[in-house]
């Protein structure tokens, strides 16, 4: 590494995004960060994308963008704790002096251990496809339909030990239409996810 490179990157706020699948939220964050010049404005950049699945489609996009990627296959670890320990090691490589990395869960479909959550508390975000506290957990869109909801939506929140709870940073609401299937709702909600997740992160970076 050149000396000048070290000087430029010192104190950079690195964002590490964790995915398990398509990574469309991750891609939305990367695109907004570039378009809005987060690096120039706030010395913040998406530095790495980590997936627990080698097949995660989002890894292709991240590599094309020149972002560091890493796969940690949870099935190769003896315990949840061992996986989370390896995950921490991978994330902590992106800490900078005085600037611990921001950890962004974007469709990361693993339950994290309390030890992991407390280690990153305050700099660990999640997006969940419902209007929390309604419908934590899985199958949120079908559950919203089954409950007869007229609106549903998406929540960005700080992660705490309580699954799919934690302080709410942003929400967006979408209508539930009479003929909607769960797939229709998922698509409508996802469009909003791509808007509010980058905004919530930008808000945090400015604090
Ligand atoms: C998104 O809808 C996200 O809200 C959801 O997974 C999808 C990932 O899509 N997350 C959860 O359900 C977490 N409990 P993406 O990989 O295209 O961003």
DSSP assignments along 109-146, one per residue = --PPPHHHHHHHTTSEEEEESS-TTSS-SS-HHHHHHH
Q: Which class is 2-205 in CATH?
A: alpha beta
- pLDDT tens for each residue of 169-200: 999 999 999 999 999 999 999 999 999 999 99
- pLDDT tens for each residue of 66-104: 999 999 999 999 999 999 999 999 999 999 999 999 999
Predicted confidence (pLDDT) at residue 16 exceeds the cutoff of 70? yes
The band of 4, judged by pLDDT with boundaries at 50, 70 and 90, is very low
Q: Which helix (H) or strand (E) holds 14?
A: strand 13-19
Spans of all domains in the chain: 2-205
- Burial (CB count <10 Å: 0-12, 13-18, 19+), residue 143: middle
**For residue 40, what are the contacts with CB-CB under 8 A and spacing of at least 6?**
none
Predicted confidence (pLDDT) at residue 9 exceeds the cutoff of 60? no
For all residues of the chain together, what is the average pLDDT?
95
Give, using CA atoms, the residue closest to atom 12 of ligand 1.
Answer: 128
Q: What single-letter DSSP state applies at residue 74? A: G
Nearest partner of 108 among 15, 199, 22, judged by Cα: 22
Give, using CA atoms, the residue closest to atom 1 of ligand 1.
Answer: 107
Contact in structure between 94 and 101 (CB atoms under 8 Å): yes
The share of the chain scoring above pLDDT 90, in percent, equals: 93
157 among known catalytic residues: no
Contact in structure between 82 and 115 (CB atoms under 8 Å): no
Bridge partners, 171 (sequence order): 155
Instruction: Evaluate: CB of 129 within 6 angstroms of ligand 1.
Output: yes
């Amino acid at each position: 590494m050149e000396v000048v490179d070290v000087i430029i990157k010192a104190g950079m706020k690195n964002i590490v995004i964790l995915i398990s699948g398509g990574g469309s939220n991750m891609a939305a964050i990367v695109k907004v960060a570039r378009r809005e010049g987060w690096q120039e404005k706030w010395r913040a950049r998406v530095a790495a994308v980590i997936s627990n699945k080698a097949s995660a489609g989002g890894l292709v996009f991240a590599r094309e963008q020149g972002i560091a990627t890493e796969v940690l296959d949870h099935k190769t670890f003896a315990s949840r704790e061992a996986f989370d320990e390896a995950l921490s090691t991978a994330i902590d490589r992106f800490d900078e002096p005085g600037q611990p990395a921001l950890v962004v869960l974007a469709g990361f479909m693993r339950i994290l251990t309390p030890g992991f959550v407390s280690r990153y508390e305050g700099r660990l975000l999640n997006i969940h496809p419902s209007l929390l506290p309604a419908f934590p957990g899985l199958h949120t869109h079908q559950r919203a339909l089954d409950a007869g909801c007229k609106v549903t939506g998406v929540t960005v929140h700080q992660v705490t030990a309580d699954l799919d709870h934690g302080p709410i940073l942003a929400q967006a609401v979408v209508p539930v239409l009479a003929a909607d299937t769960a797939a229709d709702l998922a698509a409508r909600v996802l469009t909003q996810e791509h808007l509010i997740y980058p905004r919530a992160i930008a808000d945090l970076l400015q604090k």
